[in-house]
Amino acid sequence: MTKPVKRYPTQSVDTTVVPVRKRGLEVIRDPLLNKGSGFPDNERAALGLRGLVPPQVVSIDDQVKRVMQNFLRQNSDIDRYIYLETLHDRNETLYYRLLLSHINELTPIIYTPVVGQACSQFGHIYQRARGMYFSSAEVNHFAEMVANWPEDMIEVVVVSDGSRILGLGDLGTNGMGIPIGKLALYVVGAGLHPQHTLPAMLDMGTNNAAFREDPLYLGRRIPRLTGDAYDEVVEAFMRAVHARWPHALIQFEDFSNDQAFPLLERYRHRMLCFNDDIQGTGAVTLAGILSALRVTGQPLTEQRIVFLGAGAAARGIADTIVAGMMGESGIGLEAARRQIWTIDSQGLVTLDRLDSLSEHKRPFAQDSAPLADLMDVIRAVHPTVLIGVCGQPGSFTEVAVREMHRYCERPTLFPLSNPTSKAECTAEQAYAWTDGAALFASGSPFPPVTRGGHLLVPGQCNNMYIFPGVGQGVVACQSSQVTDAMFYVAARTLAGLVGEDSLAVGRLYPDLTLIREISVKIAVAVCELAFAEGLAGIERPDDLDAFIRARMFEPRYVPYEAV
């Protein structure tokens, strides 16, 4: 038997009737309660809604049709983003029903690539407060501030300091679009209840001078904090959140490299937390590589992997690949690391540069002569996998890709920089330069390509495949830690869900419409590992699959009862 798990009355799977204490316009103005034109007659009478909504009762499916028609009338992607966020702020059930009904069309709008544009303009398109802002000027009031949040049961907090938003750099508090978007993907992808999620922004100032001079910028107009002053703010935030919601998962998002690694190491054994840019990106990339190897028939340990870029994402991916190599064949740590070459702004990361290297680069320094650039490394290494995480558009040049193809029959190309404008190459270029032989996945989506009458479907190496399932898994079993092994098992689970029909057209990831089933499988695998390693805080349910599904929020209108 499992221990009882506290649930909200709005967890629709557990209840047939939701008690509502609000009346009239208060109900309509609460996005978690609002049904718009979908309130049935009995609720209109009981909740004082007569005359406040149109007389016709409209089903949620018909509401989705109307909303989608209006969405398609918008003139630009940023207009579409604003339209969806307006719905998000008005009627959350309808918003999530819409996203699940049109996931492939709408995910690129609410997250990459359009969220990058939205963050760049966040102060100008701001409409309504969502989430919490923790200003460095109020660090002594953080405990009081978290008490202002009305929900006692928060399961996931996504927090950013806005210092490295996608490939766009320091956007300060404009980066709040990232935590908002990530948590929307948690709800859509793994069924976290929206009421149990909290977007958070740490306002540390910004080094973006244009934002500091913008009268519509919403954060502090000071240079970004560093050193002890920065650490003090993060510590106060972590303590306040953990004290208020001790079982909540805290997900670090879009922190600059100089902060991402130290923060993860500082808190990962103290609190339930992970960094999606490091660990989530690592897991989803490894899953794509494992899918590619099903096509080539080669083992992971025989791959020669080159990274263009040596930041947080590169280190996270490299560590996960190393864990995969060690788990697959028993190869040692150092032997696995020697299969990976990283290139930063100074060229190949080598042992003779060790004294000047950042700590996160050192484990992958090669015992090699200096190599100046990507072309030199390709000629020396003959890579089978090329991963771009440098944020430099077009840096996978035609000459470089053709040179790689000379040595590798089926080159695996992963230009992962976001948004689309930062991609190291496009899908069409990769296929053209390799005569259709490339196994391709990118950070932002690209459309299918037809070459020689053969359809090629580029995959999107999207963290959405990984983090919702991992997050659902650790909060469901009340794990005390999020371990690297959990991300490795998530990667293997994801790769195993790619069908042969997908591989036949070059697709290295499952169709995103299957995201909830994918997340269930990953959550179950994560729970199994937590129970096996003694990290879970509940007794193991007899049926883990059913246990996870019973927790998942379904965006449908449930009956209300006035109290």
3-class SS at 449?
A: strand
Contact at 8 Å (CB) between 553 and 9?
A: no
Asked, as a colleague might, if the bond just before 179 is cis with ω within 30 of 0, I would say: no
Q: Which sequence positions are flagged as catalytic? A: 111, 182
What does the block give as tokens for 390?
């440098």
Burial of 4 (0-12, 13-18, 19+ CB in 10 A): exposed
Cβ-count burial 377-392 (b if 16+ within 10 Å, e if not): bbeebebbbbbbbbbb
CB proximity list for 538: less than 8 A, separation 6 or greater:
2, 3, 5, 477, 478
What does the block give as tokens for 396?
């996978």
Backbone angles phi, psi at 418, to 5 degrees: -115, 155
d(CA 253, CA 312) in angstroms, rounded, equals 11
User: For the CA atoms of 425, 426, 432, 433, what is the dihedral angle to 10 degrees?
Assistant: 10
d(CA 316, CA 363) in angstroms, rounded, equals 12
Angle between helices 281-296 and 484-496 (to 10 degrees): 40
Gap between the terminal Cα atoms of the chain: 33
Q: What is the DSSP letter of 9?
A: T
d(CA 56, CA 73) in angstroms, rounded, equals 24
Contact at 8 Å (CB) between 126 and 214?
A: no
The widest CA-to-CA distance across the chain, in whole angstroms, is: 79
Helices (H) and strands (E) in the chain, counts: 24, 16
d(CA 205, CA 217) in angstroms, rounded, equals 11
What does the block give as tokens for 436?
């259709």
